[in-house]
Structure 1
Amino acid sequence: MKIDGPFYADMETAAAEAARLAEAGYDGVYTLEGSRDPFFPLVLASQARPELDIATGIAVAFPRNPSHIAYQAFDLQRFSKGKFLLGIGPQIKTHIEKRFGLDFDPPAPRMREYIQAVKAFFDCWQNGTRLNFEGRFYRHTLMTPMFNPGPLEHGVPPILLGALGPKMTEVAGEVADGLIVHPFNTLPFLKERQYPAVAKGLEKSGRTREDFLMQIAAICVTGANEAEFEAAKQTVKGLLAFYGSTPAYVPPMKAVGVDDLHEELNRLSKEGRWDVMTDLIDDEFLNHFAVVGEPDTIAAQLYEKYGQDADRLSIYAPYQASPEVWPSIISELKRLSGR
């Protein structure tokens, strides 16, 4: 099991942040598409610390044409000498339609075709096949030598799909090379909904679990002292309140019987009452969605929860903690996983 760290860096801080994460012991870094582009900082991360795997976790797919994302993936794979993982996801309907101004429905069939289209570019450039992809949503039938970047020495990058619902998760199993499990997850939801959906998709494609990469994001709450721990706890509760207010994220809540909170969180979010929302997240809710404890307990908890299923474990800790907190956790995780 490899351990990935969140890469909350902009262009100015990317090199220093990559060095910090590498020295903490992470195997790779992943960017999140929020207020910054998820691709640019990875160039500087790879340049500064070429031993790191680099990944988008995720880049929003639908606003980017498959050809655009294929070129970006090839460039990063070439530059990093085979250490890039292309993580993409659909985002939610409201953002695609209202922020990006694009069509969203039907998301699962659209994403299935999107990944197939990206792989058609990969196959053309890497293996010299004719580009001849014609689908319902995408059509790519022209590739001349001037626009062909040529094959990669280290092979094409894997495509990982961030998914939550059963249809999108099945698409991951069918056409992607791996699944990015959303950090807003619960064990019953994973075992009863997501893993079976992956298996169904793999069966459709004639593949097995050994052919597939499972990257699981894990929310952690910890700190070097009580003040840090409480600050981390409040930050994560605010994050969980945001996720819990979003209709698309109800299924993991329902799997542990806390979905009755969604309606109130959703109402408060529309009123902009984020502080009140955070107060509604109690410790029981927190413990369903996050691993919580002192630093010397976190690795064992993470491994017990995800160690049997994760090929890559992505630490999700959106808060400041003392520099000494994470290296020991990462080291113990590697030991537990036999590395």
Structure 2
Amino acid sequence: MRVDARLDPGPEAAAQAAELEAAGYDGLWVREARHDPFVSLALACPATSRARLGTGVAIAFARTPMSLAYAANDLMLASGGRFVLGLGSQVRAHVERRFSMPWSHPADRMGEFVTAMRAIWHAWDTGERLRFEGEFYRHTLMPPAFAPDRNPYGQPPVFLAAVGTRMARTAGRVADGLLVHAFSTPRYLGQTTLPAFEEGLAAAGRSRADAAVSMPVFVATGETEEEFAAATAELRRQVAFYGSTPAYRAVLDLHGWGALADALHELSRRDDPRRWEWMAELVDDTVLAEFVVSGAPEEAGREVARRYAGLVDRLSLYTASGTGPATLARVTSGIRG
């Protein structure tokens, strides 16, 4: 099992990437939130030489297959073949209201999005005429002046983020790997996500050995009781936030917590800044323990390895904001035994 790290996006990405690679992490993933993930990874490329560099995730539907094909191709070149394009769909409200982009049939659209990108890369690699016409995307113009030279490192591997079964099947069918959402549990992963992913792989004539599964794991830890309490409180709020999203409801439903999903969603819609604390209070210790690994650093690391052995190929640590690098190193040591 490979152990990756979360790279904070922003101007300090290069220095942090160098530090994390020196600490021995196998890969670095940067998410799309307040900063563009591709800019952060461009900064990280010359500061590293060994670690995989990936978007975890970039929002596919905020862009087009063509715009992402260019960005991913450039980062594959800049990283010397170490780039991984991790894509997520986001939810309808963000796609339509934050990015002002169309939303419909997300699993089908994502499958076509990836297929379109591969068609673009193929045209660049071979010089063949670009002819992609699908239900959602159409790419039929590629003059030589706009076509990059053949990438010596090949096409970037594509990982898809999935919570629901339809997107997991799509990932198995068209992608090189699956990015499991942190708002998951070992039970949901083993009983729902992975079987759907394997169905998609089988439909494409592939097996589980032909693709990778990566997951960020919630870990609440600390060097003191105060740090541990603060980390637990922060991750409890994060679980409550994710639990309020209708798209992630299936995870709670599997455990018989549908009423909690309803209550969290209702509170999230209230126009009151205190709602986030009220939501966190609804996530009791039983629920929290299913999503979050808790304990002293080495102990937490050993529990992460126990829970996810045989389920994922690589994982990263989703810790509270105040968790320092020395503590993360101790958790990682526990994972690696």
> Shorter-chain TM-score category?
over 0.9
Residue 248 of structure 2 corresponds to 249
Task: Give 1:99 shift.
Answer: 1.4
> Which is worse superposed, 228-237 or 91-100?
91-100
Match of residue 291 from structure 2: 289
Tell me what 2:222 maps to: 223
Tell me what 2:302 maps to.
Answer: 300
Distance change (3 Å), C-alpha of 1:127 and 1:316: farther
Q: CA deviation at 1:73?
A: 0.3
Query: Contact 2:169/2:199 (CA < 8 Å) preserved in 1?
Result: yes
Q: TM-score, normalised by structure 1?
A: 0.95
Aligned to 1:126: 125
2-structure distance, mates of 1:20, 1:232:
23
Displacement of 1:140: 0.9
Identify the match of residue 316 of structure 2 among 281, 290, 314.
Answer: 314
Residue of structure 2 in register with 1:327 after alignment: 329
Q: Is the 8 A contact 1:164 1:182 kept in 2?
A: yes
Counterpart for residue 22 of structure 1: 21
Distance (whole Å) between structure 2 residues aligned to residue 37 and residue 48 of structure 1: 18
Contact 1:256–1:288 (Cα < 8 Å) also in 2: no
Contact between 1:180 and 1:215, CA under 8 Å: does it hold in 2?
A: yes
Mark the runs of 5 or more structure 2 residues left unpaired by the alignment. Answer: none
- Are residues 274 and 195 of structure 1, via their aligned partners in 2, closer, same or farther at CA, if it must alter by over 3 Å? same
Distance in 1 between the 2:317 and 2:119 partners? 32
Instruction: Classify the secondary structure of the residue corresponding to 1:62.
Output: helix
Counterpart-to-counterpart distance in 2, 1:168 and 1:161: 8
Q: Cα distance, 1:36 vs. partner?
A: 1.3
In 1, the alpha carbon distance for the partners of 2:128 and 2:319 equals 43
Q: Deviations over 1:154-201 (max 9, x none)?
A: 221100001111111100000111110000001221112111111111
Look up the equivalent residue of 1:242 and give its one-letter code. F
Please name the residue that 1:111 is paired with. 110
* Cα deviation code 1:114-138 (max 9, x no counterpart): 0100111121222333321110111
Looking at structure 2, the residues matched to 220 and 328 of structure 1 have their Cα atoms a distance apart, in angstroms, of: 12
* TM-score normalised according to structure 2 size: 0.95
Q: CA RMSD in A?
A: 1.4
Instruction: Specify the SS of the correspondent of 1:315.
Output: strand
Amino acid aligned to 1:117: A
- Residues 1-339 of structure 1 aligned to structure 2 (within 5 Å): 1-11=1-11, 13-271=12-270, 272=272, 273-335=275-337
Aligned-partner Cα distance in 2 for 1:211–1:267: 41
Deviation at 1:146, TM superposition (A): 1.1
In structure 1, distance between residues paired with 2:206 and 2:129 = 25
Q: Secondary structure at the match of 2:62?
A: coil
Identity %: 40
**CA distance in 2 between partners of 1:152 and 1:219 (Å):** 36
Are residues 267 and 134 of structure 1, via their aligned partners in 2, closer, same or farther at CA, if it must alter by over 3 Å?
A: same
- How far did residue 331 of structure 1 move? 3.2
Q: How big is each residue's C-alpha offset from its partner over 1:303-333, in whole Å with a ceiling of 9 and x where there is no partner? A: 1111212122122114212332122322343
Moved over 3 A (4+): none
Residue identity matched to 1:269: S
User: Which residues of structure 1 form unaligned runs of 5+?
Assistant: none
Would the aligned equivalents of 1:186 and 1:256 in 2 still touch at CA under 8 Å?
no
Q: What SS does the corresponding residue of 1:39 show, helix, strand or coil? A: helix
Q: Quick one: which amino acid aligns to residue 110 of structure 1?
A: R
CA contact (8 A) 2:298 2:332 kept: no
Matched AA of 2:313: D
Q: Secondary structure at the match of 2:102?
A: coil
